[in-house]
């Protein structure tokens, strides 16, 4: 089967944004404890952080890291996580029916961020708490000194302010599962007042209002319209969250998950622009897609403990990803990139152990899941500007989304070096795709390198013993002849072709 696309630098969507390659660390399961923090590990540094995980985070190319939740933040008292560790309280974490030991809090997280070279994206609790606690945390983090909270921070060893730019105003407040769940009007008003007060301390913050926790929510669309109706002047972003999984063996629909993400983004943009029109505003609200991934939510490992069992850092949401999952993650990255004009920030949820590209054994080895590779390649190679590509490909029928093209792709081009990179997935379960790329607008390009991630068995998953059998391998079929690029893309594959 044949498919084609056109590469043209005039088809510019917008800049490649580093923040598209963000991730997420929540106090959930083993993400923090025995994930990023594990004093028992032979790689632990003086703060108890695993240096192997820091190295993998850097290799993954993560830009921002959202923290400390997630559902967790809606019941969190941030003050529990500051000061001498031995005097910090242990608390019930109602979101994940666990015990939170508070060995890691905001100051430790900031030290970890500096070591991992990531930008923090802090979330405040607007579930069980409100304006005052958000202000206290902001004062603790961003005020230089001379006030109660800022001096307390300094007394804890953080002389300089943390200077955190991006703040999430709560988490998934549209969800009935959320502690302190609210209607759109209730949340919109609280977010508006919290944002207004936070800007009195620091007018240059970048603030994210909660959008919908899924496009399947009954309030989807109306939630965004109402919340932005209240917060439009005060916030910069509205959030979006989406998780995908293969259901009932329907791999065809699963591989088309990016179709749903495209619709999701475009619907939220429409809602935000409607409010813009109603308010006669010039400013635009952008999207922070701050939770996205493959997540098999119905599997037993996603079920929190119950009854009198309140463990510390239980095994939770530890999905093992296969090759098809990695191809879907690649497709979702393509969708985020092609919406770079309106998606200004995104977070792969999550970073370690919990629905994560990086896994650890408590006190032991760390390793890469299959989904690590598309993210790491896109974060490393997408540079300059995102180019829309005009895909012509055979369609296949999906139960969920109707007819979908077998090929999905996007390109980036660095105007300084001229390096142009095509990111593409082949959704066919059985057939290689013969890709033909029209390069007439970019004469003289050569193939600098091409890789494919695939496996005759798309259910192959990595383990601590073998995380390299399914890494991207060179694709020797990629070649430029007579101003056209040709390449064969294996069935169920994620592909990267670098031209320069």
Cβ-based nearer residue to ligand AHR, 72 or 423: 72
Rounded CA-CA distance 362/357 in Å is 16
Q: Which stretch binds ligand AHR (CB under 6 A): 5-13, 69-77, 124-132, 182-190?
A: 69-77
Q: State in angstroms the smallest separation of the CB of 210 from ligand AHR.
A: 10
Q: Are 5 and 423 in contact (CB under 8 A)?
A: no
Using the rule CB under 6 A, is 164 a contact of ligand AHR? no
Active-site residue flag, 247:
no
Q: Considering only residues 29, 35, 48, 69, which one is a binding residue for ligand AHR as defined by CB under 6 A?
A: 69
Q: State in angstroms the smallest separation of the CB of 174 from ligand AHR.
A: 11
Q: State in angstroms the smallest separation of the CB of 349 from ligand AHR.
A: 4
Binders of ligand AHR among 396-415, rule CB under 6 A? Answer: none
Binders of ligand AHR among 322-341, rule CB under 6 A? Answer: none
Q: Considering only residues 41, 102, 350, 369, which one is a binding residue for ligand AHR as defined by CB under 6 A?
A: 350
**Which tokens hold the place of 450?**
């091409």
Q: Considering only residues 8, 93, 107, 172, which one is a binding residue for ligand AHR as defined by CB under 6 A?
A: 172
**Which tokens hold the place of 404?**
């979908």
Q: Considering only residues 349, 379, 489, 497, which one is a binding residue for ligand AHR as defined by CB under 6 A?
A: 349
Q: Are 358 and 369 in contact (CB under 8 A)?
A: yes
Q: What is the CA radius of gyration of the chain?
A: 23
Q: State in angstroms the smallest separation of the CB of 31 from ligand AHR.
A: 9
**Which tokens hold the place of 318?**
């530890």
Q: Where are the beta strands (DSSP E) in 376-419?
A: 385-387, 395-398, 402-405, 407-413
8-state DSSP, 461 = B
Q: State in angstroms the smallest separation of the CB of 308 from ligand AHR.
A: 23
Q: State in angstroms the smallest separation of the CB of 339 from ligand AHR.
A: 21
Q: State in angstroms the smallest separation of the CB of 70 from ligand AHR.
A: 3
Binding mask 123-162 for ligand AHR (x = CB under 6 A): ----------------------------------------
Rounded CA-CA distance 170/231 in Å is 13
Rounded CA-CA distance 436/5 in Å is 7
Q: Which residues contact 380 (CB under 8 A, 6 or more apart)?
A: 61
> Residue 474: phi, psi to the nearest 5?
-60, 140
Q: Which stretch binds ligand AHR (CB under 6 A): 68-76, 109-117, 375-383, 436-444?
A: 68-76
Rounded CA-CA distance 289/214 in Å is 11
Q: Which stretch binds ligand AHR (CB under 6 A): 45-53, 67-75, 103-111, 438-446?
A: 67-75
Read out DSSP for 467-488?
SSTTS-EE-TT-EEETTEEEEE
Binders of ligand AHR among 199-238, rule CB under 6 A? Answer: 213
Binders of ligand AHR among 282-301, rule CB under 6 A? Answer: 291
CA-to-CA dists, residue 256 to 86, 98, 321, angstroms: 49, 35, 17
Using the rule CB under 6 A, is 26 a contact of ligand AHR? yes
Tell me which of 26, 139, 192, 291 is the catalytic residue.
291
Closest by Cα among 364, 360, 366, 363 to 40: 363
Binders of ligand AHR among 442-481, rule CB under 6 A? Answer: none
Rounded CA-CA distance 409/446 in Å is 19
Rounded CA-CA distance 36/22 in Å is 16
Cβ-based nearer residue to ligand AHR, 70 or 252: 70
Q: Are 208 and 288 in contact (CB under 8 A)?
A: yes
Using the rule CB under 6 A, is 319 a contact of ligand AHR? no
Q: Where are the beta strands (DSSP E) in 183-245?
A: 206-209, 237-244
Closest by Cα among 480, 391, 479 to 442: 480
Q: State in angstroms the smallest separation of the CB of 291 from ligand AHR.
A: 5
Using the rule CB under 6 A, is 347 a contact of ligand AHR? no
Active-site residue flag, 186:
no
Give the three-class secondary structure for 185: helix
Bridge-partner residues for 346, per DSSP?
Answer: 289
Tell me which of 26, 100, 172, 192 is the catalytic residue.
172
Cβ-based nearer residue to ligand AHR, 134 or 240: 240
Closest CB to ligand AHR: residue number: 70
Q: Which helix (H) or strand (E) holds 49?
A: none
Using the rule CB under 6 A, is 171 a contact of ligand AHR? yes
CA-to-CA dists, residue 414 to 241, 387, 441, 487, angstroms: 29, 10, 15, 22
Rounded CA-CA distance 92/100 in Å is 6
Binders of ligand AHR among 70-129, rule CB under 6 A? Answer: 70-71
Q: State in angstroms the smallest separation of the CB of 351 from ligand AHR.
A: 11
Q: State in angstroms the smallest separation of the CB of 311 from ligand AHR.
A: 17
Rounded CA-CA distance 330/338 in Å is 12
- Site size toward ligand AHR (CB under 6 A) is 11
Cβ-based nearer residue to ligand AHR, 77 or 365: 77
Cβ-based nearer residue to ligand AHR, 70 or 490: 70
The catalytic site residues sit at 172, 291
Q: What is the contact surface with ligand AHR in residues (CB under 6 A)?
A: 26, 28, 69-71, 171-172, 213, 291, 349-350
């Amino acid at each position: 089967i044949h498919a084609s696309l056109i590469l043209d630098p005039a088809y510019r969507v917008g800049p490649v944004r580093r923040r598209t390659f963000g991730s997420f660390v929540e106090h959930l399961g083993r993400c923090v404890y025995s994930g990023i923090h594990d004093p028992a590990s032979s790689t632990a540094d003086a703060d108890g952080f695993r240096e192997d995980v820091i190295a993998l985070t850097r290799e993954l190319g993560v830009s921002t890291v959202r923290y400390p939740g997630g559902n967790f933040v809606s019941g969190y008292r941030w003050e529990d996580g500051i000061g001498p560790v031995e005097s910090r309280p242990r608390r019930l974490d109602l979101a994940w029916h666990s015990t939170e030991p508070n060995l890691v809090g905001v100051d430790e997280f900031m030290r970890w961020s500096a070591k991992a070279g990531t930008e923090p994206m802090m979330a405040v609790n607007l579930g069980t708490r409100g304006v005052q606690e958000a202000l206290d945390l902001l004062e603790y983090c961003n005020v230089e000194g001379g006030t109660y909270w800022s001096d307390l921070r300094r007394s804890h060893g953080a002389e300089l302010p943390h200077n955190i730019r991006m703040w999430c105003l709560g988490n998934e407040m549209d969800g009935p599962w959320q502690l302190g769940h609210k209607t759109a009007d209730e949340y919109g008003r609280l977010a508006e007042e919290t944002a207004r007060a936070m800007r009195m301390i620091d007018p240059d913050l970048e603030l994210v209002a909660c959008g919908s926790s899924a496009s399947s929510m009954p309030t989807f669309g109306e939630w965004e319209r109402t919340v932005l109706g209240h917060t439009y002047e005060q916030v910069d972003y509205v959030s979006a969250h989406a998780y995908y999984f293969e259901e009932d063996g329907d791999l065809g629909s699963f591989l088309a998950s990016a179709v749903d993400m495209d619709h999701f983004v475009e619907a939220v943009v429409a809602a935000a622009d409607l409010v813009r029109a109603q308010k006669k505003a010039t400013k635009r609200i952008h999207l922070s897609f701050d939770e996205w991934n493959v997540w098999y939510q119905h599997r037993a490992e996603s079920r929190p403990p119950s009854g009198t069992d309140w463990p510390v850092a239980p095994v939770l949401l530890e999905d093992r990803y296969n090759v098809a999952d990695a191809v879907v993650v690649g497709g979702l990255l393509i969708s985020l990139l092609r919406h770079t004009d309106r998606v200004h920030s995104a977070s792969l949820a999550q970073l370690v152990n919990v629905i994560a590209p990086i896994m650890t054994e408590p006190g032991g080895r760390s390793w890469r899941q299959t989904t690590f590779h598309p993210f790491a390649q896109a974060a490393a190679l997408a540079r300059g500007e995102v180019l829309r590509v005009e895909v012509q490909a055979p369609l296949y029928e999906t139960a969920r989304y109707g007819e979908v093209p077998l090929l999905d792709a996007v390109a980036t081009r660095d105007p300084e070096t001229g390096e142009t990179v095509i990111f593409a997935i082949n959704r066919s379960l059985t057939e290689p795709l013969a890709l033909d790329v029209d390069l007439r607008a970019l004469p003289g390009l050569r193939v600098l390198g091409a890789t494919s991630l695939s496996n005759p068995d798309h259910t192959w998953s990595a383990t601590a013993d073998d995380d390299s059998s399914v890494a991207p391998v060179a694709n020797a079929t990629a070649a430029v002849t007579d101003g056209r690029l040709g390449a064969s893309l294996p069935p169920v594959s994620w592909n990267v072709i670098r031209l320069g």
